[in-house]
Amino acid sequence: MTRRILLVLVLTLAALVPAGTASAATDDKPAVLLGWTQPNAASTNAWNAARLNRTPWQSYNFDWSTDYCSASPDKPLGFDFTLSCWHHDFGYRNYKAIGAFPANKGRIDDTFYADLKRKCATYSSIVRPACYSLAWTYYEAVHNFGSLSAVKQADLNRASALMQQT
């Protein structure tokens, strides 16, 4: 009887005490990234909530750094794309860190475009078409040139040749 009670107590403690927070975070990191890089508002809102309160996510060692819209303006014509660019950087940097970037690049780029369109929808209908046009341009830039590892050397050579002709 005592042995049975002791066994129940040990099994209960084992179930209640996590085996290792860092290990669990490492195992869950791809699932969390997947949840935060979907092209819908709920996914973006979840990522933004985590960005604003990073404490619960510290064990995941996410890279929250950003250069916003890289070499492009963060606020082209006054349209504020900074948060969309940060979300995009987050996806790129963290998928690269876990070695899963190529398989996820397309979705991260699609999420970026969805974020930009949601941002554009907040502007007046008079200027919204210009915002959507810029959003498409930004999307095309990252889709085609978002990572030099995703660009073929032949494409870079062709672009360089075109630049020298002008």
Q: What is the pTM of this model?
A: 0.76
Report percent pLDDT > 70 for the chain.
73
88 has catalytic annotation: yes
Number of residues in the chain: 166
pLDDT digits (tens, 9 = 90+) for 38-57: 999 999 999 999 999 999 99
| CATH 1.20.90.10 for the 19-165 domain, yes or no | yes
Q: Where are the domains positioned within the chain?
A: 19-165
Helix axes 82-97, 41-52, angle to 10 degrees: 80
Checking if the pLDDT of 138 tops 90, the result is yes
**Burial group, residue 36, by CB count within 10 angstroms (0-12, 13-18, 19+):** buried
Please state, in angstroms and rounded to a whole number, the distance separating the CA atoms of residues 107 and 52.
23
The residue annotated as part of the active site, out of 88, 120, 134, 139, is 88
